Amino acid sequence: MKVFDGQLIMLDTISKGYIGALYDDVLMFSGSQVMPTSVSTQAVLSKIISLGGGSLYPIALALLLPVFMQSIVLEKEERLREIMKMNGLKMRNYWFINYIFNLGMYMISALIFVVFGKYILNVDFFTSTNSTILLLSFLGWGLSQVSLSFFFQNFMSKAKTAMSKDFL
Amino acid sequence: MTPIVCLIFTLLIKVIAEGRLTPALSFSLPIPYVYNVPYNYIYGRFNPLLNRTVALDFQSCLQWYMYDFEGANFEDQDFVGKFVFFDFSFKNLYVENGMIENVLPPWEIVKELYYCRRKGYMPQFKRPNASLTINQHMFQTLKELNKYKMNNKSREVPHLDWLPDGAVTFYEANRNNLSLKLQINDLKVNQYHRVNGITRYLIPDAKEHLKNKTKKVSYKNVPL
């Protein structure tokens, strides 16, 4: 249905009648021509893939979580933490260093991820998103992962089970 | 490494999908859409001159509008004129002199349109009953049409010829001024539009046309 065309056709009908009534020797023709149009599904496809990718990237970046947890639980399991404590390590420093180390590892991984996505593979998710927002989001995701690994290690006593449970 | 593999995987999917789905389409109509031309003979059928079937199909010849006056004096009404009817058996069209006469195509053209002769060639003008306004007439007609069952495959609701394609109300019509209100059928349902090229036309399935130019083809409705 083309209601807009219908309006123009009707307007043309009346205009023809009026012009004809005023001027005997005038014949009016009116019409319209569509401008050449280009249609591509690329934009829609990119959005769909970006949406799918957007839900995949956080999972990809969460793969370090089991590693963080395994290292802490392993130190607990092998009594390494106790030995360090006997040698005078304060627990406050232990957790602080672990936190910074794990976060640092995550940030390096995220940085490589972003560099690849933005400058090498030119994925829309990275090129179209503001860098600050991307950085803050990834930082928040990293902080929450390290904190989560510290929390879950309380319930685990063996490194192997810790890793498998964490993957789940 | 795994996150980067994820990225590459996403990119691969994108490249494959783009290769399969996105040949950029660009299209344009080769000729302008000139209004009020008997397109029934140009579009939608196999044209031996062009040796191909052209894009649009108009299946109904009937085009009719309601017209009425509001606050217009007798001189204005005379200026507009009075449409009576087409008499195809006697090959005459009855129009009292006025601007409406100029709207109608010359009889020499009309009589050549065999396809449309019996159905009444475009456009016809009718006034509503004296007791009704145009809008009242429309609502009454639509109420009647709504009583008829129609399935999704119906091209048109039964008795669609009762419904005008549009309506025009003249407030003033003389050599110096023309003041009027145009209304067009803008109902959202396809089946309430005649396939006459005014508010609706059909686009034949191009692939089927390429296979066979004369056999029955499926149509696609143009969205509103």
Beta partners for residue B67, in sequence order: B168
Tens digit of each residue's pLDDT (9 = 90 or more) over B110-136: 655 555 555 555 577 888 888 889 999
HSE-up of A41 (CA within 13 Å, CB side)? 11
Inter-chain touch A7–B10, beta carbons under 8 Å = no
Using pLDDT thresholds of 50, 70 and 90, give the confidence band for residue B148. Answer: confident
Residue B19 pLDDT greater than 80, yes or no: no
Q: Is the pLDDT of residue B202 over 80?
A: no
Q: Which of A3, A18, A34 sits opposite B28 (nearest CB)?
A: A34
Average pLDDT over residues B137-166: 85
| Residue B90 in contact with partner chain A when CB distance is under 8 A | no
pLDDT at B20 over 70: no
Using the Cβ of B87 and the Cβ atoms of chain A, whether some distance falls under 8 Å is answered with no
Examine the domain organization and report whether A65 and A133 are in the same domain.
yes
Q: Which domain holds residue A14?
A: 1-37
Residue of B nearest to A46 (CA): B14
Residues A56 and A87 both lie in one domain: yes
Nearest-angstrom CA–CA distance, B30 and A163? 66
Q: In which band, very low, low, confident or very high, does the pLDDT at B85 lie, cut at 50, 70 and 90?
A: low
Of residues B75 and A63, more confidence is placed in: B75
Q: Identify the residue among B184, B185, B224 best suited for mutation to test binding to A, counting A beta carbons within 10 A and taking the highest.
A: B184
Q: What is the mean pLDDT of chain B?
A: 73
| Mean pLDDT value of segment B73-77 | 90
What dihedral angle (degrees, nearest 10) is formed by the CA atoms of B148, B154, B158, B163?
A: 110
CA atoms within 13 A on the CB side of A6: 27
Rounded to an integer, the average pLDDT of B140-155 is 82
Q: Tens of pLDDT along B163-187? A: 999 999 999 999 999 999 999 998 8
Residue type, B115: Y
- Give the separation between CA A154 and CA A94, rounded to whole angstroms: 15
Contact partners, residue A114, CB within 8 Å, separation at least 6: A126, A134, A135, A138
Residues 6+ apart with CB under 8 A from B108: none
Residue entry with tokens 């390494």: A80
Q: State the pLDDT at residue A47.
A: 73
Number of domains present in the structure of chain A: 2
Window A:63-82, CB contacts with B under 8 Å: 63
Q: Say what the pLDDT of residue B224 is.
A: 44
A12-69 pLDDT, tens digit per residue, is 888 988 998 898 888 888 888 877 777 766 667 777 777 777 777 888 888 888 888 8
Q: Which pLDDT score is estimated for B117? A: 52
Question: Are A46 and A28 in a shared domain?
Answer: no
Q: Domain check: are A61 and A109 in the same one?
A: yes
Rounded distance, CA A78 to CA A86, Å?
14
- In the prediction, which pLDDT does B139 show? 92
Same domain, yes or no, for A25 and A51?
no
- A15 and A30 in a common domain: yes
List, as ranges, residues 91-110 from A with C-beta within 8 Å of B. 109
Q: Each residue of A84-124: pLDDT tens digit? A: 888 888 889 999 999 999 999 999 988 888 888 888 877 77
Identify the pLDDT of residue B207: 59
B204 or A59, which is more confident? Answer: A59
pLDDT given for residue B195 in this prediction: 80
pLDDT of res. B223: 46
pLDDT of residue B111: 59
Higher pLDDT, B197 or B95: B197
CB nearest to B13's CB, from A16, A49, A59: A49
Element (H, E) at B100: helix B99-103
Checking if the pLDDT of B39 tops 60, the result is no
Give the closest-approach CA distance of B199 to chain A in angstroms: 5
Residue B108 has pLDDT above 80, yes or no: no
Look up the ipTM and state it: 0.71
Report pLDDT for B106.
Answer: 65
What are the φ/ψ torsions at residue B114 (nearest 5 degrees)? -55, -40
